[in-house]
Amino acid sequence: MNEPEFIAALRALPLHPAARGLADDCAVLAIGGEVLVITHDMMAEGTHFRADADMADVAWKLVTSNLSDLASKGAEPVGVLLGHTLGRDDDRFIKGLEEALAAFGTPLLGGDTIAAAGARTLGLTAIGRATCTPVPSRGGAQPGDAVYLTGPVGRAMLGFEGHAAHSDAFHRPVPRLAEGQALAPYVTAMMDVSDGLLLDAFRMAEASGVTLALESEAIPVADPARIADCIRWGDDYELLFTLPPTAALPATAHRIGTVTARDSAPLLLGDTPLRDPASLGYRHG
């Protein structure tokens, strides 16, 4: 099976209501008087990081990719469970994990450590506490809403390519936890942009049953000469959200478009309809 086929098969299994139909970034679990936000993201050598990557950076990104999902729900981190496959430079992995957990105020809750042959796979489960309810989803964008992005895209791409000024954007990205918490009570939809702006905007449009009409010139990008790459590359971890047009903006963000009723395509970039998700972004297998 490929990924869409496997996820479709998972959707046919008994799902917890908190799973949101496996159509969101996190599970949202009401428990006692609290609401927990729970996510699990994996990284595999060769797919998500190179065999010669600094394992400290890999650990940091494993934490960020999970906490960014919590940020998109306005959740504050409670802790993480690590699923670790032993291998090269485990001391560097520990160092980067320590730095990330300290930077984001997130303690370790537990996990599992194994030995295995071949390419390494790492997993992290992040548990957060919702700071407001209802917890935002991808699926609430309304016609007339404005579309916003918390910061420029394409920085991770430039960092990956070796531009020193953007090195941290690729190697040490920061989840937008504070922004997510500030925005959550007001947004109609929110998600993080981990797989590229166009692809993630397409997903928000699909989940919401609307069209996101983006204005190219309004999208903040790290290199305007390469806007087409910047809006397709992933790993930037900015937040994409929609807000009623009259609402005050509770965090710094750039207005990049407008939500309309479903047009000829889920996504419009200027006048160009975009229908094929395969052309939109950077997809891990």
| Least distance in angstroms from the C-beta of 248 to its own copies | 31
Place of tokens 């699909």: 206
* Closer residue to its own copies, CB minimum distance, 31 or 248: 31
Cα three-residue angle 67-69-75, rounded to 5 degrees: 75
| Least distance in angstroms from the C-beta of 247 to its own copies | 29
> What is the C-alpha to C-alpha distance for residues 84 and 58, in angstroms, rounded to an integer?
12
| Least distance in angstroms from the C-beta of 149 to its own copies | 24
> Which residues are CB-contacts of 59 (< 8 A; sequence separation ≥ 6)?
92, 93, 94, 95, 96, 97, 100, 122
* Closer residue to its own copies, CB minimum distance, 114 or 164: 114
> What is the C-alpha to C-alpha distance for residues 125 and 166, in angstroms, rounded to an integer?
28
* Closer residue to its own copies, CB minimum distance, 13 or 278: 13
* Closer residue to its own copies, CB minimum distance, 73 or 155: 73
* Closer residue to its own copies, CB minimum distance, 28 or 219: 28
> What is the C-alpha to C-alpha distance for residues 50 and 128, in angstroms, rounded to an integer?
29
| Least distance in angstroms from the C-beta of 239 to its own copies | 20
* Closer residue to its own copies, CB minimum distance, 82 or 199: 82
| Least distance in angstroms from the C-beta of 4 to its own copies | 9
* Closer residue to its own copies, CB minimum distance, 8 or 247: 8
Amino acid at 168: D
* Closer residue to its own copies, CB minimum distance, 6 or 228: 6
E strand or H helix that includes residue 240: strand 239-243
Mutual orientation of helices 55-71 and 90-103 as an angle, nearest 10°? 30
Helix, strand, or coil here: 277? helix
Tokens for 93, please give them.
């992995």
> What is the C-alpha to C-alpha distance for residues 58 and 25, in angstroms, rounded to an integer?
21
Cα three-residue angle 225-191-101, rounded to 5 degrees: 95
| Least distance in angstroms from the C-beta of 14 to its own copies | 4
| Least distance in angstroms from the C-beta of 113 to its own copies | 5
| Least distance in angstroms from the C-beta of 279 to its own copies | 19
Report the b/e string of 156-181 with b at 16+ CB within 10 A. bbbbeeeeeebbebbbbbbbbbebbb
